[in-house]
Structure 1
């Protein structure tokens, strides 16, 4: 069952990035960040190919919250999501989609 957890989490992240955003765009992106974080936690990166590693690194870079302050308690991922440019949102969506497909294929090839 290699990558089944990652396939499921990235699928949920992808759904969070789809329109409409019932709780607002920033909240949806923050929820996608959470699912990606769960997918990447303790993942064996040696089992990834170059493309999937690059997508993981792209997503992690876009999720980065170093230096952010959260004085209102909304969450640093929410704050980060509000700060993303249109191009960064496009990059995030594309990387999550590609990576979700990659993990799904890897899972079904292993079954």
Structure 2
């Protein structure tokens, strides 16, 4: 099956719908492009293991995010920022009337 499509000025190519459907390609999913060094390039859907690697990376990032949330949970007090800052500041000394 041969199809002709145009290359945009950004170097993007639209894969025709019937080809996307035949390969099972969906939006925002990776595609593999192979180039043989000559005039031939192929587009294919990566193996299922590549999708699993993405799931593993997502799970690892989620674990790291949960660790950061745990480390900084003491900051989640629900206190208004202005109140929190007022608590951090030392009370201002009362001026001596004789100094005025």
What is the TM-score with the length of structure 1 in the denominator? 0.26
Rg larger in 1 or in 2? 2
What is the TM-score with the length of structure 2 in the denominator? 0.28
Higher helix share: 1
Higher relative contact order (CA 8 A, sep 6+): 1
Higher strand share: 2
